[in-house]
Amino acid sequence: MRVAVVGGGAVGTTAAYDLARRGADVWLYERDAVASDAASTGRAAGICYDAFADRRDADLARRALGRFRDLSGEGFSFTDCPYVWLARAGDDSRAAAIEEQVPRMREHGLDVALLDADELAARFPALETADVAVAAVARDAGYLDPAAYAREMADRAREAGATIKTGTEVGVTTGPDPAVLTPAGERAVDAVLVAAGAHAKAILAAAGVTIPLKPYRVQALVTGPTDPAVPMLYDATAGVYLRPRGGGVLVGDGTEPRAFDPDDWKQSADDDFVADAREHLRRAIGVAPAVERAWAGLCTATPDRDPLVGEVADCVYVATGWQGHGVMRAPAIGDAVAREVLGADGIPGFDPGRFDGDEEFAVAEGMAVE
């Protein structure tokens, strides 16, 4: 079976590997480089956890984490690290949401626990906990370098027989016989998977398929050295996350909840974001080390915040719409969509057919607790 994969990010490279190792004749087309710095995977924070209150999301996350650990080795390494999320005093609705969601997560078999401020302080002395109303910790969590992961998956795909064509921007056609439109001409295939992140909507629109997808801008920075005992942390009240990185910390937020043109957005971080993130660091860990690098990137939103994964036209598939969770799900989603392309059932609830495609919707932040 000849399968074209469009996009060399975390999802496309994983799917290409999973298709190729099952015997498909895979050609992956990437308009730039694998894990391009102009796309999302090359700009992501690499935080991974299983702390989802929805059973399907929890199962996918668990599978993804297990696979990250199995695949971790020379090409990239997955570092186990607990994931803490919390609400601060006065933020009653988010505190209540955390208290309601953790028991549900435990029902799904997740290793998560509620902590009060004292327990949090005892467990993670690097955190400032005085005004914490409620916290939770997920032990099945960790981080990785997303670009290194995608490059490793591309290497494995190549070893399994896939052809990886970088520097090759393509379009797709629909109809009884799908094809990819390459600079060298049209190439007939048996199936196409569009895993082109923020560009998936435009690629499919040119082929007459409409999906409800909005790219939105987020920001991150990395600092110089600080206390290495910092866990991964999401402050739901502030809407800011952080994780250890190379002796310092990586901090993320600066979400602009509106639709962006995937070819026209400011790639550097805003001064306001950097100042706010440093202020947040002081509040979260008591220090604000010097900022070494700050940047922006795109995430993709859908009307119901669930991804779009599945067939959108005969033998044409899409995998996008991660709401900021595409890296952490890539090992599970890449495998699931590869199996779907080869004839298995898709992921219930992620089928793009649940939408007409032209829905009006507001961009909502992916990592929110509510």
Ligand X SMILES: Cc1cc2nc3c(=O)[nH]c(=O)nc-3n(C[C@H](O)[C@H](O)[C@H](O)COP(=O)(O)OP(=O)(O)OC[C@H]3O[C@@H](n4cnc5c(N)ncnc54)[C@H](O)[C@@H]3O)c2cc1C
CB of 127 to ligand X, least distance (A): 19
Interatomic CA distance for residues 148 and 144, integer angstroms: 8
Residues 272-291 interacting with ligand X (rule: CB under 6 A): none
The binder of ligand X chosen from 324, 331, 346, 352 (CB under 6 A) = 324
The binder of ligand X chosen from 16, 20, 31, 127 (CB under 6 A) = 31
CA 21 to chain centre: 23
Q: Measuring CA to CA, which residue among 367, 352, 236, 338 is closest to residue 18?
A: 338
CB of 212 to ligand X, least distance (A): 16
CB of 17 to ligand X, least distance (A): 13
- The dihedral sign for the CA sequence 30, 36, 40, 44: positive
Helix (H) or strand (E) holding 24: none
Contact between 195 and ligand X by CB under 6 A: the answer reads yes
The smaller minimum CB distance to ligand X, of residues 27 and 117, is found at 27
Contact between 325 and ligand X by CB under 6 A: the answer reads yes
Q: Which residues contact 178 (CB under 8 A, 6 or more apart)?
A: 172, 188, 189, 190, 191, 192, 313, 314, 315, 316
Q: Measuring CA to CA, which residue among 44, 228, 65 is closest to residue 138?
A: 65
Side-chain half-sphere CA neighbours of 269 within 13 A: 23
**Residue keyed to tokens 């070893």:** 159
Contact between 320 and ligand X by CB under 6 A: the answer reads yes
- How many residues sit close enough to ligand X to count as binding (CB under 6 A)? 41
The binder of ligand X chosen from 3, 5, 11, 153 (CB under 6 A) = 11
Contact between 226 and ligand X by CB under 6 A: the answer reads no
The smaller minimum CB distance to ligand X, of residues 114 and 313, is found at 313
Applying CB under 6 A, the residues found at the interface with ligand X are: 6-12, 29-32, 36, 39-41, 43-47, 169-170, 195-199, 203, 218, 220, 252, 297-299, 320, 322, 324-328
